[in-house]
């Protein structure tokens, strides 16, 4: 074909074919040099410029495609669920999600989200724990693949402050390497031996509560400064339970009086927030009268709704507009539902939100413990908790439990059992824990 004849794209292909007869880059350099010196007919220079422009556009497209495919725009543990948002390669498959039937495909198409988008969004709903005290723990290998929304660090992970600082930094480094946003770091730190870091403040709740709200505020401010320096974003604290004599919360509460506990919880929440650590108050709607610790087995609270309102709900109500979040209980409440753990009940979430005014995320109880209380598998209770209104799904157990819960929620979203709107709502609420309590 003679130069200048035929469609432009055929002429471009012919030109590229001839450039491929010997190494392309010397020819390209010679032509660029002649172009810069103004040599050759004007129409040949113009065609070369057009070819270079087309090549630049093509290379730009390749670069953009690679950035999208590798998530180069940055991940988000609590992403905004919209079609085309940043969840990685839209052609990707959710690991371990199982085969997909026709109904699954129709439901997934209705969500307008790919498998990879659903997978990353669901991972952002979870608060998970892990075993190990060093940055070489196997959990960090899994963290490269599963973008969990929040990570719990507790006494099983703790040696001293320097070690914990390094461990938390490793979690954030892994997230940075995969191009995602760092997970929220959460620690149970109500005070004393029940804390993740028992040698660090705050003091034992009963001791501090006995000295008054000012003492509670002082020891909690010290705790907030220390934990913020470690890299902790949020705490499962304070405990707002009334310390009924002989009850499950007797040694974990600020006192036996609703007035003392209410004043102490209010002071603790204010102190955590002042130190830029997000306080998640628990365990709602109060475990003070439980027959045993609900995390250890079935426990019943036999109080009426009036009795709950007169005492157990008061500390929660006092901080509903200030606490960063609220954690639900695994106890069975005779006045609400005597056979279903509170963490699976929409009525309990409604009580927290509609009656008391909590606006932040609702964190589930330990869902592995929930299976021991109400039966079922961890995957099914994770779906139930999300449907009930929990925004953060707490699975502190091992890899098997976490993966089972994750896969169950992924499938529930893919099949439409849990709506995309519900996931979006939960993620948006959970996102607020990043604000470090302010």
pLDDT tens sequence across 384-399: 999 999 999 999 978 9
Between CA 260 and CA 103 the distance in angstroms is 55
pLDDT value, residue 41: 54
pLDDT value, residue 83: 30
* pLDDT classification of 27: cutoffs 50, 70, 90: low
Beta-sheet strands, E only, within 113-242: 126-128, 150-152, 184-187, 234-235
Tell me what the mean pLDDT of segment 35-39 comes to.
52
Tell me what the mean pLDDT of segment 151-158 comes to.
96
Residues in the chain: 438
Between CA 389 and CA 393 the distance in angstroms is 10
pLDDT value, residue 180: 75
> Which residues, including other chains, have CB under 8 Å from residue 431's CB and lie 6 or more apart?
78
- Least confident piece of the model among 191-200, 233-242, 428-437: 428-437
The reported pTM is 0.76
Between CA 177 and CA 159 the distance in angstroms is 26
Domain ranges (residues) in the chain: 8-69, 102-435
Residue 102 pLDDT more than 80? no
Q: 41-100 pLDDT, tens per residue?
A: 544 555 555 455 545 444 444 333 333 333 333 444 334 433 323 223 322 333 333 334
Closest by CA to 187, choosing from 224, 148, 225, 152, is 152
Q: Does the domain made of 102-435 have the CATH classification 2.60.40.3080? A: no
Q: 127-140 pLDDT, tens per residue?
A: 999 999 988 778 98
Preceding peptide of 202 cis, ω within 30° = yes
Contact 407, 93 (CB under 8 A): no
CA separation, residue 1 to residues 14, 266, 335 (Å): 8, 84, 88
Tell me what the mean pLDDT of segment 7-34 comes to.
49
Cβ count near 191 (within 10 Å): 27
DSSP string, 328-345: E---EETTTBTTS-GGG-
3-state secondary structure of 327: strand
Q: Are strands 150-152 and 393-395 parallel, antiparallel or unpaired?
A: unpaired
Q: 333-361 pLDDT, tens per residue?
A: 999 999 999 999 999 999 999 999 999 99
pLDDT value, residue 91: 28
pLDDT value, residue 276: 96
Hey, CA dihedral for 403, 408, 409, 413, is it positive or negative? positive
Residue 192 pLDDT more than 90? no
Q: What's the mean pLDDT when you consider all of the chain?
A: 81
Between CA 11 and CA 367 the distance in angstroms is 65
């Amino acid at each position: 074909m003679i130069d200048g004849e035929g469609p432009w794209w055929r002429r471009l292909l012919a030109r590229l074919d001839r450039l491929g007869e010997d190494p392309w880059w010397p020819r390209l350099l010679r032509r660029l040099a002649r172009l810069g010196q103004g040599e050759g007919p004007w129409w040949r220079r113009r065609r070369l410029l057009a070819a270079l422009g087309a090549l630049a556009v093509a290379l730009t497209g390749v670069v953009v495609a690679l950035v999208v495919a590798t998530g180069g725009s940055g991940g988000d543990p609590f992403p905004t669920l919209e079609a085309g948002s940043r969840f990685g390669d839209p052609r990707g498959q959710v690991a371990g999600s199982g085969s997909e039937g026709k109904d699954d495909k129709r439901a997934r198409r209705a969500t307008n989200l790919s498998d990879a988008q659903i997978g990353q969004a669901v991972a952002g709903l979870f608060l998970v724990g892990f075993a190990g005290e060093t940055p070489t723990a196997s959990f960090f290998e899994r963290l490269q693949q599963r973008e969990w929304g929040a990570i719990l660090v507790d006494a099983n992970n703790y040696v001293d402050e320097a070690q914990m600082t390094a461990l938390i930094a490793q979690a954030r480094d892994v997230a940075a390497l995969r191009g995602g946003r760092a997970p929220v770091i959460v620690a149970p730190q109500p005070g004393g031996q029940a804390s993740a870091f028992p040698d660090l403040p705050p003091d034992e709740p009963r001791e501090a509560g006995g000295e008054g709200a000012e003492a509670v505020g002082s020891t909690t401010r010290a705790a907030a400064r220390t934990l913020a320096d470690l890299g902790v974003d949020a705490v499962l604290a304070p405990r707002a339970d009334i310390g009924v004599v002989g009850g499950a919360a007797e040694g974990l509460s600020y006192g036996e009086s609703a007035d003392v506990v209410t004043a102490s919880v209010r002071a603790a929440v204010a102190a955590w927030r002042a130190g830029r650590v997000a306080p998640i108050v628990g365990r709602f709607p109060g475990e003070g009268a439980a027959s045993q610790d609900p995390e250890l087995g079935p426990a019943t609270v036999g109080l009426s709704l009036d009795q709950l309102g007169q005492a157990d709900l008061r500390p929660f109500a006092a901080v509903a507009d200030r606490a960063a979040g609220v954690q639900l209980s695994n106890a069975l409440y005779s006045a609400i539902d005597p056979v279903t753990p509170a963490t699976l009940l929409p009525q309990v979430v409604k009580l927290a939100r509609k009656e008391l005014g909590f606006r932040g995320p609702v964190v589930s109880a330990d869902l592995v413990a929930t299976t021991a209380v109400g039966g079922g598998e961890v995957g099914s209770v994770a779906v139930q908790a999300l449907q009930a209104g929990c925004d953060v799904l707490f699975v502190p157990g091992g890899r098997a439990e976490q993966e089972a819960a994750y896969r169950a929620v992924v499938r529930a979203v893919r099949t439409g059992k849990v709506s995309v709107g519900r996931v979006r709502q939960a993620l948006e609420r959970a996102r607020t824990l990043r604000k470090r309590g302010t």
